[in-house]
Each structure stands twice: as C-alpha cells, then as structure tokens.
Chain A
Amino acid sequence: MTLALNVFTIVAVVLGLVFFLAGTVGLLRFPDTLTRLHALTKADNLGLGLVVLGLLPQVAWPFGGLKLIALWLLALLAGATVGPLLGHAVWTHARGREPPP
C-alpha cells in the first residue's frame, strides 16, 4: 500500500515538473506577450495541481490534505484572475500606442 502510494506520488510529481518546464519554455520561446501569458497561466497551475495531487498521500489528514487542496484552489483563482487582468492591460496598452516590436 505504501509502495503504491509512493509510486503514485513520484509519478504525479514528475508529471508536475514536466508542466513547470513546459511553462518556462513557453515563456522563453513563444513569440508574443499574449501567448506567453496564456502558456504560463495554464502550465504552471497544472504543474502545481499535479504536485499537490502527488503530495496528498504524504501528509496528515484531514487538515494537511485540506490545506493542500485549498492552496491549489487559491492558485487556480489567482491564475484565472491574472490571465484576464494582464491580458486586458496588454491589449489596451497595445491599442493605445504602437505595440513593442
């Protein structure tokens, strides 16, 4: 049982790492601000979610686990807000003046 849970943790965390890496690569490689933003807010929240998922078997229930889940929800909320906020700002910025090259 413990072994299975540990394997689960390892798999989930490694997957999470992959998403984090993807987010960073997107940030560095995507052509313009809006797509970079998009790549980022999606990838890093998925990465965090997988890490949280992987850690769930390793913490004390119920408080430790609930805290982790609450944490992920908070991060999702932040991501869901930051995307539109920044996107809107970038959009108006670009329309208000020449977009940066």
Chain B
Amino acid sequence: MSSVTLFGLCGAALVGLGLFGLIVQPGVLRKILAFNLLGSGVLLLFGVIARRGAAAGIGSDPVPQALIITALVVAFAATVLAVALLRRLVQETGRDSLDTDG
C-alpha cells in the first residue's frame, strides 16, 4: 500500500463520517461541521487523483489542484452563509436546530 492509496482511503472514510454527521447531528452548527468534513474528504479524494496524475516533472496534476482551490473557496463562502443563517435562526427563535417544525 502506498501513501497515496492510504490518503485515498482516509478520504473515503471522511466522506462516510461527514455523511453520518450530517444526517445524525441535530444541531445546525454540527451539521455545518459535518458538511465541511464531507467536503474535505471529497477534496482529499480529488487530491489523491491529482497525485496519481503526477507527470511532466510535476508532482501532482495541476488541473484538479486548481479545481480543488476553487472548491475550497466556494465551500468557505457556503459555510459563511450557513453560519449567518444559523445566527439569525438563533436570534429569532432561540433554537439551533431544525427539528421541531418539520
């Protein structure tokens, strides 16, 4: 087993963990964290794919690297929006979960 495969398996596990947290956690902040873990696992898998594409004297395929950077920034913006909505929700209702009105 190589290091690259190892990180690939790690990414797979992170995706599973994030998915689990997203479904099971009742608190929205915890859901946001779980979403970030999930996204990070996905990007890690992408990074592993990039690393497997090392060629032409570059250690990692630059195309996926660029995509990962874009996705990281988008994920950050999404986290900001989610946190802002959560803070409004807490202000308005005093609750930090979406359960009871479902």
> In the complex, A touching B, CB below 8 Å?
no
Interface residues, chain A, with chain B CB atoms under 8 Å away: none
Q: Which residues of B contact A (CB under 8 A)?
A: none
